[in-house]
Amino acid sequence: MEKEKTYNEAIAGDEGFNEGEGYPSCEGQPCANVADESGGQSDIMTEDADSAQFAEAEKQAAEENTAETDGAETLRAEIDQWKDKFLRLQAEFDNYRKRTLKEKMELVQTGGRDVLLAMLPVHDDIARAVTAMEKSDDVEALRSGVVLIAQKFTEALRQKSVTAIEVIGKEFDPETSEAVARFAAGDEMKGLVVDAVQTGYMLGDKVLRFAKVVVGE
């Protein structure tokens, strides 16, 4: 009531003013300020909410960036690891290839050397037989000597896995033999090898030289 009285007295001289019970509740401040104050608080609350959402979004984005960075670093480490393994494997294979090539070359050279060494004793026997033929007329002794040389030579070849291909009286086999002629040998020898013009040889399980044969028809 005191406030109402004071307000009415203060504005009693204003033209067109009618006293009444109502009075502004703004306590000497424009009422608009009251509305402004309420609106300002709402704006502040909205700004705070926006700030909180923005901060949360920034935090989430930072976490996602950290996860992406960690994932990229892990992937880069795996790539480096596989690259290192590949380079090591490539180097090992290159060393293996060079070592194998060297071993093959040495094997060829050593193999040829071994064969020549095996043939030298046979050559010595042939040289002695030639000398003996010049000094002796004993045909039977010379014949026996040549037979021994031939046997020794065959044994030297056998030790090197070289064996003669047996073809006489057997069915013609184009995998090991080459037919150079045909001979009318009757029905019982038809398709069979009648004679060997040149002996064939096997080196292990491979044909070293094909036999040249005559086939019956």
Q: Which of 133, 160, 135 is nearest to 149 (CA)?
A: 133
Q: How far apart are CA 192 and CA 67, in angstroms?
A: 84
**Contact present, 169 and 201 (Cβ < 8 Å):** no
Phi, psi at 138, each rounded to 5°:
-80, 95
Q: How confident is the model at residue 200 (pLDDT cuts 50, 70, 90)?
A: very high
Q: How confident is the model at residue 36 (pLDDT cuts 50, 70, 90)?
A: very low
Give percent of the chain above pLDDT 70: 76
User: What HEC string does the chain produce?
Assistant: CHHHHHHHHHCCCCCCCCCCCCCCCCCCCCHHHHHHHHHHHHHHHHHHHHHHHHHHHHHHHHHHHHHHHHHHHHHHHHHHHHHHHHHHHHHHHHHHHHHHHHHHHHHHHHHHHHHHHHHHHHHHHHHHHHHHHHHCCCHHHHHHHHHHHHHHHHHHHHHCCEEECCCCCCECCCCCEEEEEEECCCHHHCCEEEEEEECCEEECCEEEECEEEEEEC
First to last CA, the chain: 152
Reading the block at residue 18, the tokens are 């009618």
- Which residues have a Cβ under 8 Å from the Cβ of 37 and sit 6 or more positions away? none
> Which tens digits make up the pLDDT trace of 115-157?
888 889 999 999 999 998 888 888 898 899 999 999 999 999 9
Question: Which residue type occupies 193?
Answer: V
pLDDT at 50: 65
pLDDT at 173: 93
More confidently predicted of 61 and 43: 61
Q: How much is the average pLDDT of 43-65?
A: 69
Q: How far apart are CA 210 and CA 183, in angstroms?
A: 19
Q: How confident is the model at residue 112 (pLDDT cuts 50, 70, 90)?
A: confident
Phi, psi at 190, each rounded to 5°:
-65, 125
Model confidence, pTM: 0.50
pLDDT at 179: 94
> Which tens digits make up the pLDDT trace of 84-107?
999 999 999 999 999 999 888 887
Strands 193-198 and 201-203: unpaired
Q: How confident is the model at residue 9 (pLDDT cuts 50, 70, 90)?
A: low
pLDDT at 34: 43
R_g over Cα of the chain: 58
| Residue 23: other Cβ atoms inside 10 A | 15
Tell whether the model's pLDDT for residue 213 goes beyond 90.
yes
